[in-house]
């Protein structure tokens, strides 16, 4: 019987986490059985238990990876307000609203994570801390407490707005939610920023 290399095993685990993340976000955690999850990754039930102790173990791994990927995107944004505004516009877009499987893990899974076991909730808590810190680095106005409060406000505004825009059946209201959220998000992001310096006339 062939033995797989550590690299092959890690690649298989990563594939399982990636495909499960898309399935969880599109169908929900409770709506995704192990048989479906392993089929998505091209594995068998037996192979699943070679990588994860339980479905909860997989969920915690997915939450950790999904948030880490999102944090990496925010950390890689160029410094400056223009990149933040661009990120906000993309996050609060109809395209993101309509892309459950490829979108934000918090917006898709938060209600279910709150009912998951402690391991999953701790994985989310750690990821949320990292996400808030990543946002705060772009909002830093010299006041650490105020910057963190703004980062938390922006994080929760973004997540809740996408959830609401997805939940309503009125397309016009959904668009209005996204548009209003963008205006409020930019206000939060720019609060406390110094005004642009005025040009001094040369004598």
Q: What is the pLDDT of residues 81-109, one digit of tens each?
A: 899 999 999 999 999 999 999 999 999 99
pLDDT at position 198: 41
Distance of CA 55 to the CA centre of its chain: 20
- CA angle, corner 156, sides to 150 and 158, nearest 5? 100
For residue 83, count other CB atoms closer than 10 A to its CB: 14
pLDDT at position 200: 42
Domain coordinates in residue numbering, the chain: 54-190
The structure's pTM equals: 0.86
State which CATH number among 1.10.357.10, 3.30.1490.190, 2.102.10.10, 3.40.50.1820 fits the domain covering 54-190: 1.10.357.10
pLDDT at position 20: 95
pLDDT at position 3: 58
Sign of dihedral through CA atoms 66, 68, 70, 73? negative
**Residues of the chain scoring pLDDT < 50:** 1-2, 195-203
φ, ψ (nearest 5 deg) of residue 5: -70, 160
């Amino acid at each position: 019987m062939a033995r797989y290399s550590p690299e092959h095993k890690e690649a298989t685990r990563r594939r399982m986490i990636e495909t499960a993340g898309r399935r969880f976000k599109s169908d929900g955690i409770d709506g995704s059985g192990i048989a479906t999850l392993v089929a998505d990754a091209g594995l068998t039930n037996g192979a699943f238990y070679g990588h994860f102790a339980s479905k909860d173990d997989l969920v915690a791994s997915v939450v950790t990876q999904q948030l880490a990927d999102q944090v990496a995107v925010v950390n890689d944004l160029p410094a400056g307000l223009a990149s933040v505004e661009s990120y906000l516009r993309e996050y609060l877009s109809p395209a993101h609203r309509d892309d459950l499987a490829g979108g934000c893990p918090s917006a898709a899974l938060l209600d279910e994570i709150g009912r998951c076991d402690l391991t999953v909730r701790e994985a989310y808590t750690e990821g949320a801390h990292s996400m808030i810190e990543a946002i705060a680095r772009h909002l830093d106005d010299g006041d650490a407490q105020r910057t963190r409060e703004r980062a938390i406000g922006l994080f929760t505004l973004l997540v809740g707005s996408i959830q609401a825009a997805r939940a309503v059946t009125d397309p016009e209201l959904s668009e209005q939610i996204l548009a209003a959220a963008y205006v409020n998000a930019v206000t939060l992001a720019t609060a406390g920023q110094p005004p642009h310096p005025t040009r001094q006339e040369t004598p």
